[in-house]
Amino acid sequence: MKVPELEKATVRIRQPERVREIIQSLREQGVAKLQVISDFDMTLSRFGCNGRRCPTSHNILDTSRVISEDGKKKLKDLLHYYYPIEIDPNRTLEEKRPLMVEWWTKAHELLVQQKIRKGDIAQIVRESEAMLRDGYEEFFERLHKNNVPLFIFSAGVGDILEEIIRQANVFYSNVNVVSNYMDFNEDGVLTRFKGPLIHTYNKNNTVLQGTGYFQQLSTRTSIILLGDSMGDLTMADGVPSVENILKIGFLNDKVEERRGKYLDSYDIVLESDETLDVVNGILRYILAET
């Protein structure tokens, strides 16, 4: 098996043999069985740029010129209250879930009060510092060229992240997004968010029932899953019959303290790696391109 990118200094793997076997199986099963399921913020988009944190799809909206100063302050207060809960290793998922629903619901209500216009979305994204990870063109192009479905599952704002992908010129026909979408009235003003609400800890088939997306992909039993949080590990839970799954985790932050947990949960952990090099290398090998 030749995937030179796995030798990168950012790569950590707890069970190298097992990872080799999975990658080999993915290659043998062939392109017709493959699908990629990915988180968006801090997974396909960069965590840091120019020595600063890159914005998530929520950040882009929360800090944009269409939000009043009062609105910005309230959104920041919510972040400071709920974010420590989201990442608290000592709280159970059962404890976190209702609090995440509370956070997202309050944040969405605040955004609705801002009377955001659909026509402003493209400009908001253009003015932001959003960046996809280095190597994104190759990643999106290769999946598209080989007709491999890319399913993006995001607790962010769907309208914003779609616009980021669109402005990067990689919103191909094989890309499918499930996220929190805005609902605009006939005047193009935000009136609410469409359901179901997707937050960090319900990215699984409970929110996918009825989308029909996974049913139509039931023959796609080989999966590469990309995420950057513990909540992303359940993203493939709606897939009817998974034969092979390779879980790749981006460990962007608090690397030392979270390393053990990530290595327990993800097959491959990428530490402070702002690129898609490793993912692209694996895809190149699986799709048998020299």
Residue 41 annotated among the catalytic residues of the structure: yes
Residue 264 annotated among the catalytic residues of the structure: no
Give phi and psi for 207, each to the nearest 5: -90, -5
- Could you tell me the sign of the dihedral formed by the alpha carbons of 31, 24, 14, 290, in that order? negative
Query: Which member of 41, 228, 267, 277 is catalytic?
Result: 41
Bridge partners of 140, per DSSP, are none
The answer to whether residues 190 and 117 touch, using CB atoms and an 8 Å cutoff, is: yes
The answer to whether residues 61 and 161 touch, using CB atoms and an 8 Å cutoff, is: no
Locate tokens 């839970």: which residue? Answer: 237
The answer to whether residues 144 and 218 touch, using CB atoms and an 8 Å cutoff, is: no
- Phi-psi domain of 248 (left: phi exceeds 0; alpha: psi -120 through 50; beta: other): beta
Query: Which member of 39, 62, 228, 232 is catalytic?
Result: 39
Give phi and psi for 119, each to the nearest 5: -65, -15
Which sequence positions are flagged as catalytic? 39, 41
